[in-house]
Amino acid sequence: MQQKVAEGGSLRREMSFVDLLMACLGAIIGSGWLFGVLYAGNDAGPSAVISWLIGGIAVIFIALNYAELSGMLPEAGGIARYPQFTHGPLVGFIGSWGAFLAYSSVPAIEAEAVVQYAEHYIPSLASSTLLDFVVEAALLIIFFVINIYGVKMYARVNTVVTFLKFITPTLTVIVFLFVAPHWSNYTATTSGGFMPGGSAGMLVAVASSGIIFAYLGFRQAVDMAGESKNPQRDVPRAIIIAVLLAVALYTLLQVVFIAAIPPSELAHGWSKLALTSPFAQAASVIGLGWLATVLYADAVLSPSGTGLVYLASTARVTYAGANNKYLGESYRRVSERFGVPIWAMVTTVIFSILFLLPFPSWQSLVGVISSATVFTYMLGPVSLSVMRKHHAEAHRPYRLPGAKVLAPIAFVIGTLIIYWTGWGIDWKLAVGLLGGTVIYVIISTVKGGLNQIDGHAIKHGAWLVVYILAMLAMSYFGSSQFGGQYNHGAGLIQYPFDLVVDIILGLVFYYWGVASGRSTEETVAAVNAAAELRRATNGGSLAN
C-alpha cells in the first residue's frame, strides 16, 4: 500500500524492519560519539558515565511514547502530524517549525565533523575556510542525490553504511577495555575525583555536551513510517531496539575513554582537556596506531551516514508540514519516477547548506539543536494522552504500559533537559520558535490556502506559547549552575530548589496541554486510514 498525495506520485512502502532500525542507528551513531565523550568529560569528569545513563533513560521515556503513536498512526514526518491531530495548527506549526530547525541543521553539523577529522589526511582543509565550505556543500549534495534516487536506494546505502560504522565504536570499546591503562582516573583527586563538576555538572553534560544530541536519532523510524512495508509492527520495535543499543554503546564508550586519558593531560582538570579528535588521539597515545587509523577513517563514514539519514528525515518533516497546510501544494508533490517528495528535498538541502555558514563551536550548536529537538519530542507524550482520551478504541500495536504515569514523566524530563541547557541557548530557541510563528501567522493571514491560526487554534494552543515563555523565565531566573559557558542568567532560584520548581512547571503544563487537546474530522480520518493500513499489512502486530 502506498501513501497517496494530492498530485504527482506516491510515497513507496519499501522499507523493511532492518531498514528502519538502521535508519535509527544511522542517525544515532554520528558525530555524537566522536566528540560527545570529550565534552561530557569536560563538564562532568568520570561521572559523565552516569550522564550518558541519565540521558539514555530520559530518551527511553520519550521514545516509548512515540513507539505507541507511530504504531497507531504511521505517518510520514509523524513529528509534524501528531500535534496537528491533537491540538490544531498553532501547536502543530510550532512543533513542525522546531523540528525543521533542529533537523535541517544536523546534516551541516555532520558534514563539518567529516571535514574536521579529514584534516588528519588533508591538512590544507585546516587552513582554508572556503575549501571547507566547498567540500561540506559537496557532501550535502551527495546525500541529496542518494535520497533523490528513492527510498530503496537510500535504505540500501544507509543499511550498509550503518552496519560498517556500528562496528568501529564496538571494536573501540572491546580493545580499550583490555588496553586502556589509566583506570585510576575515576578516583584521582588531582583531577577532581569522580565528580569534579558536582551533580549539576552531570546534568549540564546531559543537555549541552552532545549526549542528548547523540541519542536523538531514534525518531527517524517515525519520520519514515510512510515508507515502511509494515509500519504498525516495525516502527515501534525499531525505535525501542535502537535506543537500547545506543544507551549500551555510548555508556561503554565513555567508560573506556575516561580510562584512556593519560593523567598528565588532566593536570589542570577535566574541564581543560582539549582534543581535536578524541578517540583517535587517545588510541595513538596508548600505542594503538592501527586503531587510530581505523577511527580517522570511520570519523568520515559515521557523520556522513548520519547526514544522509537526517537529510531524508527533514524532507519528510517538510512534506508533513505541507500535509498540514503550513506550506503550499508544491511541497506535497511526490516524484512519480523516484517516489520522494522532491521539492521538500530541494528545500532541505538548501537550508542545510545555509547552516554551513560560520557558526560557534560544535558544542554550542548542538546545545541549541538538542534543546529544539527535545522541545518537539515533548509534544509526543501530550499527544499520546490526548489520543488515549479521545480515541481509546483505536488499535495500538504497541501500548505504553502505565502511560498515565510515564507520559507526564517524559514531559517533565524534557522540561528539565531544556532547563539544564541554560539561558544562553534557551533564549535563542524561544526567539526562533516564536519569531517563526509570528511570521507564519502574518503570511497565512495574507496568503490563501494555508492553515490559518484562528481563535479556535489559539484556544487549543495557548498552553504551548505560555510554556515557552515560562521556560524562558525559568532559564533566566534559575540557578547559574546550568548552561556552562553559555549561561548568563540571574541565578535567583538556587540549585537544587530550581529543579523542584521546574518539575512543578512541567507537570502544570503537561496537564494543561492534555486538557487543551481535541479530536477533529482530520484526526478521525487519520485513525480510519491507519485501520485500513493495518488490514492491508495483515494486522501490523508486534507479535507478527
**Does residue 366 belong to any structural domain of this protein?**
yes
Residue with cell 514526518: 77
CA 203 to CA 483: how far, in whole Å? Answer: 10
Number of domains in the chain: 1
**CA 256, CA 302: separation in Å to the nearest integer?**
19
> Which pLDDT band, with edges at 50, 70 and 90, does 359 fall under?
low
pLDDT band at 131 (very low <50, low <70, confident <90, very high): confident
Q: Is residue 283 a part of any domain in this protein?
A: yes
Q: Is 362 domain-assigned?
A: yes
Confidence of residue 488 (pLDDT cuts 50, 70, 90): low
Mean pLDDT of 337-342: 74
Kindly tell me the sign of the dihedral angle through the C-alpha atoms of 446, 451, 455, 459: negative
Q: Tell me whether residue 379 is in a domain.
A: yes
Average model confidence (pLDDT) for the chain? 83
Mean per-residue pLDDT, 214-235:
74
CA dist., res. 325 & res. 283, Å (int) = 51
The CA-to-CA distance between both ends of the chain, in Å, stands at: 18
Give residue 510's pLDDT.
97
Q: For residue 262, what is its C-alpha cell?
A: 593519560
* Nearest alpha carbon to residue 215 among 126, 306, 277: 306
Phi, psi of 64 (to 5 degrees): -60, -35
All 3 cell numbers of residue 9?
506520485
Q: Name the residue type at position 465.
A: V
217 in any annotated domain: yes
Determine contact, residues 324/231, Cβ cutoff 8 Å: no
Rounded Cα gap, residues 186 and 182, in angstroms: 9
Q: What is the DSSP letter of 449?
A: T
pLDDT bracket for residue 483 (50, 70, 90): low
When pLDDT is averaged across residues 231-253 and rounded to a whole number, the result is 85
* 129-148 and 342-354 helices, crossing angle to 10°: 170
- Residue range of the domain that includes 512: 17-536
The answer, yes or no, to whether residue 379 has pLDDT greater than 90, is: yes
**pLDDT exceeding 70 applies to what percent of the chain?**
88
In a domain, 8, yes or no: no
**Joined grid coordinates for residue 189:** 583527586
pLDDT in tens, 408-450: 999 999 898 888 888 888 888 899 899 999 999 999 888 877 8
Residue 3 has pLDDT above 50, yes or no: no
- For the entire predicted model, the pTM comes to 0.82
Closest by alpha carbon to 153, among 76, 227, 216, 226?
227
Question: Please, where are the H alpha helices in 29-88?
Answer: 31-44, 48-72, 78-87
Q: Is 473 exposed, middle or buried (0-12, 13-18, 19+ CB in 10 A)?
A: middle
pLDDT given at position 73: 86
User: CB of 227 within 8 A of CB of 13?
Assistant: yes
Q: Is the peptide bond before 83 cis (omega within 30 degrees of 0)?
A: no
DSSP code per residue over 299-332 = HHHHHHHHHHHHHHHHHHHHHHHHHTTSS-GGGG
Could you tell me where the DSSP H helices lie in 422-520? 423-446, 455-477, 497-515
In whole angstroms, give the CA distance from residue 543 to residue 480. Answer: 49
Residue of 316, 346, 354 lying closest to 111 (CA atoms): 354
Task: Return d(Cα 12, Cα 228) in angstroms, integer.
Answer: 8
CATH of the domain at 424: 1.20.1740.10
- 48 neighbors 39 (Cβ within 8 angstroms): no
Please compute the mean of the pLDDT values over residues 289-307 and round it to a whole number.
82
Q: What is the pLDDT of residue 103?
A: 81
Lowest mean pLDDT among 86-95, 156-165, 400-409: 156-165
pLDDT per residue as tens digits for the range 250-269: 999 999 999 999 998 898 89
Buried b (16+ CB within 10 A) or exposed e, 273-295: bebebbbbbbbbbbebeebbebb
pLDDT at 496 over 70: yes
Is the four-CA dihedral 114, 116, 117, 123 of positive or negative sign? positive
Q: How confident is the model at residue 328 (pLDDT cuts 50, 70, 90)?
A: confident
The residue assigned the cell 510515564 is: 406
- Kindly tell me if the per-residue pLDDT of 114 is higher than 50: yes
- Please list, in sequence order, all residues whose beta carbon lies within 8 angstroms of the beta carbon of residue 306, skipping any fewer than 6 positions away: 26, 27, 28, 29, 30, 31, 106, 110, 217
Which bin fits 483, alpha (ψ -120 to 50), beta or left (φ > 0)?
left
Residues 42, 51: Cα–Cα separation, whole Å: 12
What is the pLDDT, as a whole number, of residue 82?
A: 92
Encoded amino acid at 495, one letter: Y
Q: Which of 168-177, 199-208, 431-440 has the lowest mean pLDDT?
A: 199-208
Closest CA to 441 of 433, 323, 430: 433
Q: Locate 282 and state its grid cell.
A: 587517545
Whole-number pLDDT of residue 385: 96
pLDDT tops 70 at residue 4: no
Dist CA 206 CA 475 (whole Å): 16
State the pLDDT at residue 155: 65
H runs (alpha helix) in 216-288: 220-223, 231-260, 278-285
Predicted pLDDT at 1: 40
Is 3 part of a structural domain of the chain?
A: no
Say what the pLDDT of residue 7 is.
46
Q: What are phi and psi of 65, to 5 degrees?
A: -65, -40
Check pLDDT > 90 for residue 49: yes
User: What gap in Å lies between CA 303 and CA 316, rounded to an integer?
Assistant: 20
How confident is residue 10, by pLDDT bands cut at 50, 70 and 90? low
Spatial contact of 182 and 315, defined as CB atoms under 8 Å apart: no
Q: CA angle, corner 492, sides to 488 and 495, nearest 5? A: 90
Q: How many residues does the chain have?
A: 544
In-domain check, residue 5: no
Looking at residue 481, what DSSP letter applies? T
Q: How far apart, in whole angstroms, are the C-alpha atoms of residue 217 and residue 29? A: 8
